[in-house]
Amino acid sequence: MPRISIEPGRAIVGPAGVTLYRVGVQKDVQVDGPSGQTLSRRYVAVDGGMSDNARGVLYDADYSAVLAGRKVTGNHVLSRIVGKHCESGDIVVRDVYLPTTTARDDLLAVPATGAYCHSLSSNYNLLARPAVVAVKDGASRVLIRRETEEQMLRRDTGFAAQD
C-alpha cells in the first residue's frame, strides 16, 4: 500500500508567508553574462537579510520579489536583493527583475518565506528579530512581537569589576 506524507512547514506554511523588506541603498554594477557579454545588475540592499531568512545562505533557497505598496509601470532591471550583514552569502533574492523606479524606502515583498524563516532567525550582527503578523480580509494581527534592542541585550551581564 503506498503511503503519502507531506511536511506541513513547507507544504502549508511556506507558501502562506510573505516577508516585507524596506529598500535602502542601490548600486548598479557591470557583470559578465553567460555568453561573455557585459550585463548591468542592480544591487538592492534591504533592512534585513540572513538574520531573518537564513535559507538562502544555508540551503541555496531561491526566492522572488515584487515591489509592494505602489503600482509600477515601465522598465525593469536585473537586480540582486542583498541584506545588511556585509557577508558574501547575505543574498535574499539572487536574480529578479525590479522596476527601474525602485527607490529608497520602497517595500519589497518576498513570497513563500513562511516555512522555517522565523524559527531559523537569529540576532546575527546584533539585529533584533522582526515581528510575525497574520493578515486576513484586510485586517492584521501580530502573532509574534518584534524583538526590541533592549530585549535582545537583556541577556548581556556586562563586565563587572573583579576584586
Indicate whether 161 pLDDT > 90: no
Does the residue 20 lie in any domain?
Answer: yes
Are the beta carbons of 32 and 39 closer than 8 angstroms? Answer: yes
**CA-to-CA distance for 28 and 31, rounded, in angstroms?**
10
What's the pLDDT at 67? Answer: 96
* pLDDT tens, residue by residue, 44-98: 999 999 999 999 999 999 999 999 988 888 899 999 999 999 899 999 999 999 9
Does the residue 126 lie in any domain?
Answer: no
Does the residue 41 lie in any domain?
Answer: yes
* Helix, strand, coil share of the chain (percent; to 5): 15, 35, 50
For the annotated catalytic residues, the residue numbers are: 86
Are the beta carbons of 80 and 94 closer than 8 angstroms? Answer: yes
Q: How many domains does the chain have?
A: 1
Residue 117 is part of a domain; what is its CATH number? 2.40.37.10
Tell me the residue range of the domain where 65 lies. 8-121
Does the residue 129 lie in any domain?
Answer: no
Indicate whether 23 pLDDT > 60: yes
